[in-house]
Every structure is written in structure tokens, then in C-alpha cells.
Amino acid sequence: MSTILDKIIAQKKIEIEQKKQIISQSELENSEYFGKPTHSLFEALSNKIGIIAEIKRCSPSKNIINNDFPAELGEERTKFVQNLAKGYADASAIGLSILTDKNFFSGDDSDVIDARKVTNIPILRKEFIIDEYQIWEAKAMGADVILLIASCLTISKTKYLAQKATDLGLEVLLEVHTKEEINFIDANTELVGVNNRNLHTFEININNSLKLVEEIPNEVIKISESGLNSLSDLHLLIEVGFRGFLMGESFMKTENPAAALQKITKRI
């Protein structure tokens, strides 16, 4: 029986081939952002513990999270994304995480482009990356960091994609969920996120971060992802060595996500 992750990856393979027919990998290099320097999330988190705030309209497990987030591309959606990106930056977000998967998360590449125009804090393109073409896309749209999900890849493919990203000047956030996936870490994955959500079942347990933190090398930046809803959660995780927190739904489900973020950043 196929899981949600299996379905996402199957769709992603189709989507990538379709995109390659529209614009080639080499043509992506003509983007205004492709030759520009990136903003380092690693440096930001080395200097300060912080929150990577997520711009996320919906998910397979929660459906629509924020009803004010326009579904259709256009001026209203651009305005919403840009206002949220600026609001998050003003509320001291250390970075932004922006979903670009269209079919399962109602994201779009244009959301990264729109956010990039109004903020200089690091942007993570949150996507199910399985092909180097998607790394070129990330650079072309103005992202600074890509996500590599160990559950979607082999060790060799992860290292290959991480090297490609590094060669383009992008940073890599490697997402792990099990002890076995710690073996995916290498010199090009200086940011390691522990996902508290099981991508096969979508169940959440923040004890996963507590369980895996000691397995992660001390020289990398440790980030806890998903299911973080309270200041006490963050303080507990800070004590054991986490410096970054990827948070989305707890902000996006409120009427004012930036204000919800501000309440937490003031007290970290």
C-alpha cells in the first residue's frame, strides 16, 4: 500500500519531466538571481538561536491551514505572500521556509520569487527534491537553502545533490527522521533537521528530536521541525542542543501569523 510520501514522489517525477520541457536546466541560469550571492542560514543560526517561519497554505494532513491565503496565483496572492514575508522578517524570523509543491501543499515557485523581492533573510525552498533540476530552479527563484529529505533519497543520491547545491552556492538542510538516516550527513550538509512528523504516516511526536539529537555531530547546526507549538517545547529543545526551529502551522492557522511569531521570538 502506497503512503502519502510515495504518492508525492511519484507525482514529483512527472512534474519535473514536464517542467524540463518548458525551460531547460541551462536556461534557468539566465535568471536574475542565479548569479547573485546567497544569504547564509548557517551563519545566521551560528550567531543566534532562531525560528525559520513557514509560508504554507495547506498540507495533506491538515488540508487548508489559512483561509486568507489565496489559492490562485495573481496580485492578491503576491500581496499576501509579500506582506507575510515582511511581517515574519520584522518579527525576527531567522529565515523563511516556503512550500513550493503545488499538488499536495498548494505552493508555487512564485511564492519564493515574491518573498525574495521584499526580504533579505535566508529563504529555504521547501520541496521534495529528487533531481538536480530542482536545485537549479531553487537558485533561479532566489532561494538560499534547499531541503533534502533522507526518506526520499539514497545516501549516494543525497551526497550527489548536496554537492550540486554547494557548487551553486546554496546551503543544504538535510532532513532526517530515524537513527539510520544520520548516515546521510556529510560535509555538504551543515544544517540537519529532525522531522518530528513521520512522512509516511504524518503522525507527530517531538520526542523524535530528543531521541536523535545526540546522534547528530556537534559541528552541524541542529534544527527541529514540525509539531512545535509552545515556548516550553523550544526551551526544552534548546537545552539539548537545537539552534533552529522550523515552524509553520502554529503561525499560519492564526489570523496574524507574524504577530504569533513575534510572541515567541520575544521570549526565546
CATH of the domain at 150: 3.20.20.70
Set 56, 139, 159, 222: catalytic member: 56
Residue 235 grid cell: 526551551
- Catalytic annotation present for 32: no
Annotation marks residue 205 as catalytic? no
Query: Which one of the listed residues 59, 97, 126, 181 is annotated catalytic?
Result: 126
Beta-carbon-side half-sphere exposure of residue 207 (alpha carbons within 13 Å): 2
The answer to whether 16 and 131 are in contact (CB under 8 A) is: yes
Of 249, 243, 144, 136, whose CA–CA distance to 192 is shortest?
243
Q: What confidence tens digit (pLDDT) does each residue in 209-265 have? A: 999 999 999 999 999 998 888 889 999 999 999 999 999 889 999 999 999 999 999
- Domain ranges, residue 70: 4-265
Domains: count for the chain: 1
139, amino acid identity: K
pLDDT at 18: 97
**Is 195 a known active-site residue?**
yes
Is 225 designated active site? yes
For residue 131, give Cα distances in angstroms to 34, 42, 147.
18, 23, 12
Active site residue 56: yes
Listed in order, strand segments (DSSP E) in the chain are 50-55, 58-59, 63-64, 95-99, 123-126, 145-149, 171-176, 191-195, 221-225, 244-247
pLDDT higher than threshold 70 for residue 122? yes
Q: Is 175 a catalytic residue?
A: yes
**Mean pLDDT, rounded, of the chain:** 95
pLDDT of 61 > 90? The answer is no
**What pLDDT, on the 0 to 100 scale, is given for residue 200?**
67
